[in-house]
Amino acid sequence: MVLKQNTDTKIIYEAVYNLLEEANTNLPDCVYKNLSTKNYNGKENILKNAYLAQNTKRPLCQDTGQVVIFLEVGQDVIFSGKYIEDEINRAVSDCYKDKFYRKSMVEDAIFNRENRGDNTPAIIHTKIIKGDEINILLGIKGGGSENMTTLKMFNPTTEFEEIIAFAKECAINAGENACPPMCIGIGAGGCAETAALLAKKALFDGAVLDIEMPSTFETRILTAPTHIASLPVCINLSCHSLRHASAKISGGKIIYKSDIVKYKDVETKINAREIYTDDVESLNSLQNGEEILLSGVIFTARDAAHKRMAEIIEANEILPFDLANKIIFYAGPCPAKDGEIIGPVGPTTSKRMDKFAPLLYNKGIIATIGKGDRTIKGLNKLYFKAQGGIACVLQKCVKKCELVCFEDLGAEAVYRLEIEKMPLRAVWI
């Protein structure tokens, strides 16, 4: 009889904690090589951002996302210590607090969207495998790309080319909302929830397809058996950061499967005129599509803050700050650590604020800053597009940060920022 050694679950805590830092601060080598050899819009900023994140140990993106874990446990493993999921969530909570990452998880999807304050719970998918080893595949999914997920139930006689056309359509519809160049994950088979799970895992561990897609650097796929009458297909997109890391636990030791390289600094130059936020005449003279460097005072406000401001306005109450001639930045930064003015910061998807935009423009704001296209048209108002996924680059543009209101909203509180030469593109909506 062979005596099996107990595996204390504290080793799961250690592995997850370290993988979280790796995934949040290091661009995978496969992405870095692709970006270095191909031409994409804004690629210099992406490479610069990767350099800054790695060298400052700060996150690639301010949206440090939902933690998704694929946990494979050998059936011969004998655990001791605390409950595995508790140890995983303790690692998430501790790492996100220790490293000053943004906490984005709310208590309940519908009835209580109060921020939980520690980014738990992680989304954990557990599978029992043969043997006595443990495999951990960890991914970080931001809201912008995750919200572009699409599921479709195809007919079983559908040709593969039709599925690729569907994936292409999803990528085009996502546009700048998913921070291109994207990675496309295709999951096919099982039932609806199986396809969604496969699509998520395909991003980090799928077979690479030799096809060209618009605004993407790679397309990956995972498939599974399915019913004779079914062909469920899900498309899950990742931003260019493709944040993931993995490790194996064997014989009581953690073996990290890193493909990290040392990044080089990149010089970024933008030939654009500098505009100041208090120069209303110059702001109103901007041409559609014109690139600028914006300096002056702006205010952050995203989903929850917009909802609260709208409620205050509709109740005929006084807002905590005057909106007249202000510029609103749709952003929720990471917490600042010692020595920082602000944590990594970047734009969130603008169209989520579109139902509030007419009200706030009518209250006097002169422009908004965000990511992606708008659904609203005909307002004849100024909107600035900011590049997504370059939070460390945009962090350097902020010279002063002060809390204004709604501190209880956590990452969605309103801040007054003084910025210098923030690269933006003007759009009239």
| 69 in Cβ contact with 124 (< 8 Å) | yes
Say how far residue 271 (Cα) sits from the centre of its chain.
28
Looking from the CA of 180 toward its CB, the CA atoms found within 13 Å total 20
C-alpha to C-alpha distance for 421 and 398, rounded to whole angstroms:
9
Beta partners for residue 99, in sequence order: none
DSSP state of 352: G
Beta carbons of 427 and 376 less than 8 angstroms apart: no
Long-range contacts of 37-41 (CB under 8 A, 24+ apart): 38/217, 40/180, 40/181, 40/217, 40/240, 41/180
218-221, long-range: CB < 8 A, 24+ apart: 218/30, 218/34, 218/183, 218/184, 219/167, 219/183, 219/184, 219/186, 220/183, 220/184, 220/185, 220/186, 221/185, 221/186, 221/187, 221/188
Site of tokens 């990767």: 50
Q: Which residue has the tokens 């495998």?
A: 129
Residue 288 CB partners (closer than 8 Å, separation 6+): 426, 427, 428
Q: Which of 12, 17, 19 is nearest to 258 (CA)?
A: 19
- Distance (Å, whole) CA 59 – CA 354: 28
Label the pairing between strands 216-226 and 182-190.
parallel
Residue with tokens 């970006």: 35
* Distance of alpha carbon 196 from alpha carbon 205, whole angstroms: 14
Structure tokens at 176: 């700048």
Packed helices 84-98 and 10-25: angle between N→C axes, nearest 10 degrees: 40
End-to-end Cα distance, the chain: 74
Q: Respond yes or no: is residue 306 known to be catalytic.
A: yes
Which residue is catalytic, options 125, 227, 240, 306? 306
Q: Is 199 in contact with 149 (CB distance < 8 Å)?
A: yes
Distance from C-alpha of 116 to C-alpha of 109, rounded to nearest angstrom = 12
Catalytic residues: 306
